[in-house]
Amino acid sequence: MIFENLPTTPRSEELIDKAFSRAARAGRAKSGHDAQTSMLQTASNILSDNLENVVTAWPDFDEVDPFYYELADAIVDVDEVRKSLSEVTWASRKTAEIRSEYEGRMRRNDLDTARKFRKQAFARLADVVEEVEDDLLRLGAARDELKTLPDINPDEPAIVVAGYPNVGKSSFVNAVTRARHETATYPFTTKGIGVGHFERQRIRYQIVDTPGLLDRPPQDRNDIEAQAVSALTHLADCVLFVLDASANCGYPLDDQLELLAAVEDQFGDVPVITVCNKSDVSRDVEADYYMSVTEDENLDTVLDAAVDAIGYEPELPFDG
């Protein structure tokens, strides 16, 4: 996952302390003008390099898959992150400029004056780093949020499972992946999105359970949840919409069908397959397939239908 390995973002105070303490050690190893120059170079290089490393650790959002871009934007506001990255880039370059500006002054003057210039340079370096303190804090907070995003591979075919609570979505995902699927709580939902995997003809498929997102009408979702759903439209290659005709789930069938219409509208050209679960109790709804998770009836049939609807063909090295 692209945000998983983002390093901890240092605070301005940490950077300044690190730079100046290393500079002091560098200065003690030399004397005269060389000591002052070495201190300036050391402090500037540490600040410039560390600030640059903060920026380069982040992916280029212009190249981020739309799925992850929209999820990130829902949580941290990508435009604000970009602004902070730009400010930190400025600070990195400015610290290098200050070093170049003062190195010449220090060489052209006596030692006492050179020492005064070095102190002036240190003050300006500190001012620059402190100026981007809020940006460093923003990037640190964004990094902490984004590290919790789901580990989903946008390059692998994905089946998104939707439907009201208690219709059997999670039970179906657990059953077809033959193990409890991976779950985690993400910033856009108080519940957990489940990600399971299975293989067909050596192709790995992802199957995504979406409690808290696609289990209620759009008007009941908050802004972050709505954008997370929008992100899923970039991920989904097929949607399995699970219905409970018996209404034992606690929601009338008419409400379930209204949600189905909303999901079909949201996902546009993505194939949406309707599945009536609990068919051993009731089949009183028109659906593409009928199954019963509890009775282990037609689960593979439904899964095969989703695979066929996706029609995924891996790109071979010699293609094109």
Q: What is the pLDDT of residue 150?
A: 82
Q: What span, in angstroms and rounded, lies between the C-alpha atoms of 310 and 274?
A: 15
Q: What is the pLDDT of residue 36?
A: 94
Q: CB-hemisphere CA count at 13 Å for 297?
A: 13
Count H helices, E strands: the chain?
Answer: 10, 7
d(CA 51, CA 95): 9
> Which sign, positive or negative, has the C-alpha torsion 104, 109, 114, 117?
negative
Burial of 37 (0-12, 13-18, 19+ CB in 10 A): buried
Give dist(CA 17, CA 207) in Å, integer.
Answer: 48
pLDDT (tens, 9 = 90+) of the chain, 320 residues, equals: 789 889 999 999 999 999 999 999 999 999 999 999 999 999 999 999 999 999 999 999 999 999 999 989 988 999 999 999 999 999 999 999 999 999 989 989 999 999 999 999 999 999 999 999 999 999 999 999 998 888 888 989 999 999 999 999 988 998 998 656 666 777 777 777 888 899 998 899 999 998 888 998 999 988 888 888 999 999 999 999 999 999 999 999 999 999 999 999 999 899 999 999 999 999 999 999 999 999 999 999 999 999 999 998 877 665 55
Alpha-carbon distance of 188 to 167, in angstroms, equals 22
For CA atoms 296, 298, 302, 305, the dihedral sign is positive
What is the distance between the terminal CA atoms of the chain, rounded to a whole angstrom?
Answer: 28
